[in-house]
Structure 1
Amino acid sequence: MTIQSAAQTAVTADTLAAARLLVAQMGITAADLVDTAPAAPTFAEVIPRVRARLSAGTARTYGTHFDLLESLWPDRSLTEPTRHELEELAYTVQTTARSNRASRGGTSAVEHFVSAARCVYRYAEEAGWVRPQDNPARRLPIPSRRASHRYAVPSGQVAEICQVAATSGDGPELDALILRFHLETACRRGGALALHPQDLDRDQCLVFLREKGGSDRWQPVSPTLMRHLNDHGTERGAPFTGQLLRYRHGRPITARRYDYVWGRIGESLPWVARQGVTAH
């Protein structure tokens, strides 16, 4: 049996004290030094689980970026990619983003990509596969949003748009009603498509709107618009709990009607087509 000397005991105590001090300064606990975390799964294994937890709207927004991660790194563990790799992928997303009149240099696409990546790694943290300090998505920068290209259409040009809608096409009464509805309520097209006869409070001139993201609200309208909405639903046989806006033969309109209306207006008013004026 070996008996330690007092000097050896003192050295050991000093070493332990120094080690404890160093560990404390680094913000590490004893638990951090023990590798008890389960092995992290691959992107192909995790992303379907993440999708299943999200609402339909969020899953649709992140869907393209989930697809990218699954196709690019299907067999890679979540612990393998570095922050630098994710930043390079974000840059690729920005440079390949689809461009249109409302584009802001791909910053919106990057913002959604970063949010999607953080969503995946937040799930990994909750499952214990990745420690917060090892999460590469936490440190991904979100680009600053650029100023919107949208602006209010002057009243004179609004009058031109309404004139064309009400005097051309295969359903001028319907198209004029749609535009009047949006002008008074400022709702998105989804709010108009979700309008039912039961949503009309004729006594108080209120319409109940079901908007994007569950932001339902009662919206005041003019007595004239309320009368036209009521007459439209009655004449075209809209069920009390069914869609209000319909074609002459009674079939409900879809979002394609908006594409048709704005395409027709753009043919008559070149500045509409040139500036990409639409109702969302």
Structure 2
Amino acid sequence: MTTDTDRIAQAHQILADLGVTVADLQALEPGPRPVPTLATYLPHVRAAAGPGSRRTYGSYWDRMATEWGQRPLDQITASDIEAMHRTAAASTVKRRNGRNGRHAGEHVIAAARAIYNRAIADGHIAPDASPAHRVAKPRRLPSTRRALTTTELQDINAAARRSGNDVILDALLLRIHTETACRRGGALAITLDDLDHHHCLLRLREKGTTLRWQPITPALTNCLTDHAAARGAVLPTDQLLRFRDGHPVTSRRYDHLWHRIGQQLPWVATQTISTHWLRHTTLTWVERHFGYGIARAYAGHTDNTGPATTTYIKANLQEVATALTAMTGQPHPLAD
């Protein structure tokens, strides 16, 4: 105890010699970091987000910045987010395939959670202080999409060939999605280097940065090769799908395509059938005839959620090619 008292006295003497008091030292201790305002912090959230998140949540982030931009993150409440959720759901434009604004309301909550997930990771707020995570997301309703019948699929392809200024391109788009069950973004991302003509494979890049080789028929392989050569895809990184003037196809082509088909087939417009219905159609057929494991591989699903048995029922490329052969009636070099 005597030694400690002596050391304290010595420390006080040193401070006195330096002209510094204990209060001066306490004033130098860093205080709690100020919580940034939403307007200040939102650019960091956008920069860290992927293109899909920016596209989906961008308009909601803009709305939040307008209403809450000058408020620190810890002064935005769950009630504020709940109120915006209700407003977004009520003000949604009514569409045939609408769900009374459920998706818009869900996106408000998801957009707010994206902000606070980043704020927690950056140490601006405590994990249990996020107001966005105190607002419950609305329960997801079952999808209205279904597998098309053989007759419906035939009618859709026939309608595509009867209209439009580029029926060859439209028929090719429908064929790609029917054979591969890929998503729209996957087809638009195909480059010349993604086509393996020898093995009749197509490399697909889809959401979640997934990457896979998908078997396609020799007929589709030849059509894609001829299409690329005729429309100016030269470099390995050139987008394969192109208009007749050589410009790359965009997602707008799909919008125009289904609008035209809906004009000829009213039931297509009534049910708001889209490209994703082709994915449902193909994967349902594969599952019914070849089982869940092969359908899962055909879809390109790589997530680990679900039953533990999914670990043991992975299908290989040859099994997917065999399913393709059975579905199309065309041989494939990798099929068993």
Question: What range describes the TM-score normalised by the shorter chain of this pair?
Answer: 0.7 to 0.9
Runs of 4+ residues over 6 Å off in structure 1 = none
Q: Match for residue 89 of structure 1? A: 84
Aligned-pair CA distance for 1:126: 4.0
Equivalences for residues 123-142 of structure 1 within 5 A:
123-142=118-137
In 2 relative to 1, CA 67–172 (structure 1 residues): closer, same or farther, beyond 3 Å?
A: same
In 2 relative to 1, CA 48–146 (structure 1 residues): closer, same or farther, beyond 3 Å?
A: same
- 1:62 alignment partner AA: Y
In 2 relative to 1, CA 128–233 (structure 1 residues): closer, same or farther, beyond 3 Å?
A: closer
- TM-score norm. by structure 2 comes to 0.67
- 2:264 alignment partner AA: S
Q: Match for residue 26 of structure 1? A: none
In 2 relative to 1, CA 133–265 (structure 1 residues): closer, same or farther, beyond 3 Å?
A: closer
- 1:248 alignment partner AA: R
* Equivalent residue for 1:209, pick from 188, 204, 208: 204
The answer to whether the 8 Å contact 2:68/2:76 transfers is no
Query: What percentage of residue pairs aligned between the two structures are identical?
Result: 43
For residues 244 and 46 of structure 1, what CA distance do their matches in structure 2 show?
Answer: 39
- 2:144 alignment partner AA: H
The answer to whether the 8 Å contact 2:231/2:244 transfers is yes
Is 1:162 the equivalent of 2:157? Answer: yes
For residues 126 and 221 of structure 1, what CA distance do their matches in structure 2 show?
Answer: 43
Is 1:246 the equivalent of 2:239? Answer: no
- 1:132 alignment partner AA: P
* Equivalent residue for 2:108, pick from 96, 110, 113: 113
Q: Match for residue 266 of structure 2? A: 270
Q: Match for residue 74 of structure 1? A: 69
The answer to whether the 8 Å contact 1:37/1:129 transfers is no
* Equivalent residue for 1:152, pick from 139, 147, 155: 147
In 2 relative to 1, CA 46–247 (structure 1 residues): closer, same or farther, beyond 3 Å?
A: closer
For residues 151 and 53 of structure 2, what CA distance do their matches in structure 1 show?
Answer: 38
In 2 relative to 1, CA 85–259 (structure 1 residues): closer, same or farther, beyond 3 Å?
A: closer
Choose 231-240 or 129-138, whichever is displaced more. 129-138
Is 1:55 the equivalent of 2:44? Answer: no
- TM-score norm. by structure 1 comes to 0.80
Aligned-pair CA distance for 1:213: 2.8
In 2 relative to 1, CA 179–134 (structure 1 residues): closer, same or farther, beyond 3 Å?
A: closer
Is 1:177 the equivalent of 2:166? Answer: no
- 2:274 alignment partner AA: T
In 2 relative to 1, CA 130–193 (structure 1 residues): closer, same or farther, beyond 3 Å?
A: closer
Aligned to 1:238, the other structure's residue is in SS state coil
- Per-residue CA deviations over 1:24-80 (Å, capped at 9, x if unaligned) read xxxxxxxxxxx9533322211111222122122212222122111110012222222
In 2 relative to 1, CA 87–243 (structure 1 residues): closer, same or farther, beyond 3 Å?
A: same
For residues 247 and 119 of structure 2, what CA distance do their matches in structure 1 show?
Answer: 47
Choose 109-118 or 217-226, whichever is displaced more. 109-118
* Equivalent residue for 1:255, pick from 244, 251, 257: 251
For residues 56 and 252 of structure 1, what CA distance do their matches in structure 2 show?
Answer: 20
- 1:212 alignment partner AA: K
Provide the alpha-carbon RMSD of the alignment. Answer: 2.1
In 2 relative to 1, CA 129–201 (structure 1 residues): closer, same or farther, beyond 3 Å?
A: closer
Q: Match for residue 14 of structure 1? A: none
The answer to whether the 8 Å contact 1:118/1:137 transfers is yes
The answer to whether the 8 Å contact 1:38/1:128 transfers is no
Aligned to 1:208, the other structure's residue is in SS state strand
In 2 relative to 1, CA 167–97 (structure 1 residues): closer, same or farther, beyond 3 Å?
A: closer
In 2 relative to 1, CA 83–208 (structure 1 residues): closer, same or farther, beyond 3 Å?
A: same
Aligned to 2:137, the other structure's residue is in SS state coil
Aligned to 1:244, the other structure's residue is in SS state coil
List alignment gaps of at least 5 residues for structure 1: 1-34
The answer to whether the 8 Å contact 2:190/2:241 transfers is yes
Aligned-pair CA distance for 1:186: 1.1
In 2 relative to 1, CA 248–126 (structure 1 residues): closer, same or farther, beyond 3 Å?
A: closer
Aligned-pair CA distance for 1:127: 4.3
Q: Match for residue 195 of structure 2? A: 200
Aligned to 2:203, the other structure's residue is in SS state strand
In 2 relative to 1, CA 42–249 (structure 1 residues): closer, same or farther, beyond 3 Å?
A: closer
Choose 203-212 or 123-132, whichever is displaced more. 123-132
Aligned-pair CA distance for 1:235: 2.5
